[in-house]
Amino acid sequence: MIELKNHELHFSFSEPFETVRNLASDYALKTLPLILAEDRDAALDACFRANFRYEETSQEDQQTLREQVRLLPPEKIAAFFKKKVHRTALPDCHCCKSAQMSVAFKRTLRVPNDGKDHFLPPGFGEFPLQHVDDYADRAPTSWLERGGVMLPMYQAEALWINFNSSYPFAVKIASGKINAITGAPWQSGLHRQPQDYLVLPEQPWLDGFVVGDGVVRQFVAMPLGTGASVEEQSTGKAETGGIQIQVFPMKAEYYFRNQVLPLLPRTLEELLPEMLAELEIGHEVVGRCSKRFIIAESAMGLGAGGKIKQQVYQDPHELNVWDTSLTSRCFVHLCNALVWREITGTNPPHPPITANEYQTSGMPWFDFYRDDLETLAGSEALAKIKTVGALSAGQGTKPVTSHTVAQAPKILNCGPQIRPREVRQWAPAEDVLKT
Amino acid sequence: MPTPLSFGQFLRETRSQKDPGTFSVRKLAGRVGIEPSYLSKIERGEEPPPGEATIRKLAEELGEDPDVLLALAGKVPTDLLEIIRARPRLFGDLLRELKKMPDHAVLRLVREVRDGDW
């Protein structure tokens, strides 16, 4: 099912949620008796030796903690264990009872087409999304046939796509039914060699067509019929336009076996650290011990790419882990901002500021890099696509303004542990927004 | 029918199901911009629920639906209030009708994005 909530598309699938919940319950049922039968003193000693500097703990402290753990009622351990299993298996699915992902289209500035490498531009909030069906009397007939939603864009305005998910999904993105990863015409299903989809949650954003390893060409809106769209350059026709999205959840059994099971506690020793903290048992003793764990700093890369520097990741799973029998797809129509008002009766957002105005205001660009995942090589077909700026210059038409960036950019590095909505959001002051 | 949780109970219950390192009272309060002692009192029911903006921040941090948290706090979200104010009779009648409907029937009213032919 796809819903429109707060200008985001929410894709939800109840089947994987039900299957994972049942698998988690079965696991809890089988493992709980073994955990309850364990020797608690031995489990506590092993837990402390693995996680804390036990040798620094006094005999008195050790004895206090042993007593507290011995007195724990089995029902309390059982309740904590079941809760732990279910929240590990379905971290963000409880309130919606389904495996969910969301897609938002972010307003942004257009990066200069100056041959230089650019970092990720900021987000200025979501493009407004509307059901095309709500404007059946004014929207073009072809839009109503395709269904879906629409958003307003100015000519030569840019966007990036934001993904948010905790459950794994494979996502296909196309524009004018030309795949944005491979440059191939739209095909149903998922394919490898070349991989024609993104993998979530590894991929947080997509800023453009994937033209090389670590390089994308920014998504920039152009009217159909000018010959500037990727669709027109690939097919010679201006028929479809818009953005197409298709989503496939991971098979629930595979997800549970490979991504959940290794994280579930199998013994009382593994359960104890979190249980002691949550039940506030022996926290004075635990607080006096220094932890052995060292949290590794996230390695980030800064370097030369091209156009926009953005990695698109290879699927680390086998192709058959994706459930192609469960899928949802959506057509996102791009509506010229000048026509948007006529169709909807509402004003489109103000045009975004230029890259130079943004940068001279001292605001940051963004970089995101992971060295633990393989990246896609990019599409040769897409690499041959001429840019919007080059085409308008070659045709002798009014060139699409390409602003240069005068000063060195300020870069913010975003780690792989991305918190939704916390990064790449920038709200410029009103005076900066004025053109 | 079980007694529904209070706002504070729901908050504590939800927070306790998250990673205790990231969702301690102190850390959560810091992220939403309130004092830890205030959040603690809200959870224990010693203080009334905070304002809409703080509830929305709490909902975002905890991954919960802001409408659910606002309802538990006895508040009507501003955007819903505006919808009702624009057509009070229509939405008043609609909500009274929906009140009697079972969940599965109400869920049928959830609007899907329609996929067409492309």
Identify the three-state secondary structure at position B38.
helix
Rounded CA separation A381/B56 (Å): 45
Rounded CA separation B49/B53 (Å): 11
Rounded CA separation A425/A108 (Å): 10
The residues, any chain, with a CB within 8 Å of residue A33's CB and separated by 6 or more, are none
Q: What is the pTM of this model?
A: 0.73
Report the pLDDT averaged over residues B53-75: 91
Model pLDDT, residue A332: 93
In 3D space, the residue among A279, A290, A334, A293 whose CA is nearest the CA of residue A153 turns out to be A334
Q: Which two tokens stand for residue A129?
A: 């999304």
What phi and psi values does residue B52 have, to the nearest 5 degrees?
A: -60, -40
Rounded CA separation B57/A356 (Å): 33
Count residue pairs from A and B with Cβ separation < 8 A: 60
Hey, is the C-beta of A95 within 8 angstroms of any chain B C-beta? yes
DSSP per residue over A283-345, as a string? HHHHHHSPB---PPPPP------SEEE---BPP-S-GGGB-TTS-EEEEEEEEEHHHHHHHHS
pLDDT digits (tens, 9 = 90+) for B14-42: 998 888 888 999 999 999 999 999 999 99
At A255, which amino acid appears? Answer: Y
Half-sphere exposure (CA, 13 Å, Cβ side) for A302?
8
pLDDT digits (tens, 9 = 90+) for A365-375: 787 878 788 99
Query: Nearest residue on chain A to B20, judged by CA atoms?
Result: A278
Does the distance separating the beta carbons of A274 and B17 come in below 8 Å? no
Hey, is the C-beta of B64 within 8 angstroms of any chain A C-beta? yes
Does the distance separating the beta carbons of B114 and A133 come in below 8 Å? yes
Rounded CA separation A307/A185 (Å): 23
Rounded CA separation A184/A181 (Å): 8
Does the distance separating the beta carbons of A92 and B117 come in below 8 Å? no
Mark which residues 228-287 of A lie under 8 Å from B by CB: 240, 244, 274, 277-278
Hey, is the C-beta of B82 within 8 angstroms of any chain A C-beta? no
- Among A9, A88, A130, A146, the strongest candidate for a mutation testing the B interface, having the largest count of B CBs within 10 A, is A146
Identify the three-state secondary structure at position B71.
helix
Does the distance separating the beta carbons of A1 and B118 come in below 8 Å? no
Mean pLDDT, rounded, of chain B: 88
* Residue numbers in B near A144 (CB within 8 A): 116
| Percentage of chain B exceeding pLDDT 90 | 48
Query: Nearest residue on chain B to A133, judged by CA atoms?
Result: B114
* Residue numbers in A near B117 (CB within 8 A): 145-147
Report the pLDDT averaged over residues A248-259: 93
- Give the lowest-confidence range in A155-159, A329-333, A387-391: A387-391
- Give the lowest-confidence range in A82-86, A314-318, B3-7, B93-97: B3-7
Candidates B17, B68, B112; nearest CB to A1:
B112
Bigger pLDDT: B66 or A389? B66
Q: Is the pLDDT of residue A188 over 60?
A: yes
Cis peptide bond N-terminal to A194, omega within 30: yes
Q: Is the pLDDT of residue A122 over 60?
A: yes
In 3D space, the residue among A125, A129, A158, A147 whose CA is nearest the CA of residue A344 turns out to be A129
Mean pLDDT, rounded, of chain A: 80
CA distances to A112, A114, A125 from A357, rounded to whole Å, are 12, 16, 18
pLDDT digits (tens, 9 = 90+) for A394-414: 554 444 454 555 556 677 777
